Structure 1
Amino acid sequence: MTAHVVNPILNVSDFAASVRWFETLGWEKAWDWGDPPTFGGVRSGACEIFLCLDGQGGRGHGGVAATFGPDGDQTADRGAWMSIWVDDVDALYERCVASGIEVTWPPTDMPWGVREMHVRHPDGHVFRMSHGIHDDHEHPHPH
């Protein structure tokens, strides 16, 4: 088997609010289905994530402030975790802080060669936003 595209599907409690949340990050609504919409997609460049109202996966904010670190808990949230590679983690961090997006791990140089931050969707989905520490900002081979 050769996979051509992977589209994660996130269970969301409010479809329209989730689209707006992604738009705050700089994504755009790609399409939706239903009236009112209960399914659809958001995209950034060639990447697309599907959103499903009340189904197709778990969700749930874990109630912890941090997702990494000594006071963090990477097992508390009931939503999906995704690793997303971006051009500039620090610029994204500034955008998130200015827009009120919940940051659960600030930009940090990690021992595996990436600068990484985490943001959490209100339904408990966590996004590991990363770029390579090297000047080209490309992600390293999996460790």
Structure 2
Amino acid sequence: MSARIQRVSFVLAVHDLARSTAYWRDVLGWTLEFDDPGNWSFMFRDRVGVHLGECKDAIAPAELGDHSYFGYVVMDDVDAYHAEISARGAECRAPEDKPWGMREMVVRTIDGHRMMFAQQLG
């Protein structure tokens, strides 16, 4: 196989781009790499990105139930990330060990999107 994936980004509709961008930056600790006010913000943490697009009339993620989950990101220290973002007010569950060999926590964004962060056990 010759073609390799370099980064992955999720595209998310948000109602208020400025508010969402500030949350991803200030609470979740992601870096703003591109900003087109009122249209797009591209946020990254390491090799994972979210492209936030302002869609004022989109269905609120909270109304989607389980369909508000959009990503599963494996990292090297989920407990450290939990401590970092919970100290800044993020809505997240404490990490838990799962029988499939992962330590996982769910994070709910200010818009209601949910994302799972995990770490390999052992």
Same fold by TM (over 0.5)? yes
Q: What count of residue pairs does the alignment treat as equivalent?
A: 117
- Aligned with 1:124 (options 103, 112, 116): 112
Letter in 2 for 1:106: A
Shift of residue 78 of structure 1?
5.0
Shift of residue 86 of structure 1?
1.8
- State the TM-score, normalizing by the size of structure 1: 0.70
Q: Which of the two has greater helix per residue?
A: 2
Instruction: Name the Cα RMSD after superposition.
Output: 2.3
Where structure 1 has 5 or more consecutive residues not aligned to the other structure, the ranges are: 63-74, 135-143
Shift of residue 46 of structure 1?
2.2
CA distance in 1 between counterparts of 2:87 and 2:120 reads 24
- 1:21 maps to what in 2? 23
- 2:74 maps to what in 1? 85
Shift of residue 6 of structure 1?
3.8
- Name the structure, 1 or 2, with higher relative contact order (CA <8 Å, separation 6+): 2
Shift of residue 3 of structure 1?
7.4
Shift of residue 45 of structure 1?
1.6
Where structure 2 has 5 or more consecutive residues not aligned to the other structure, the ranges are: none
Instruction: Tell me the SS of whatever aligns to 1:130.
Output: strand
- 1:114 maps to what in 2? 102
CA distance in 1 between counterparts of 2:22 and 2:76 reads 22
Among the aligned pairs, what percent are the same residue?
29
Instruction: Tell me the SS of whatever aligns to 2:87.
Output: helix
Q: How does 1:19-98 map to 2 (within 5 A)?
A: 19-23=21-25, 24-33=27-36, 36-54=37-55, 58-62=59-63, 76-98=65-87
Letter in 2 for 1:45: D
Shift of residue 90 of structure 1?
0.9
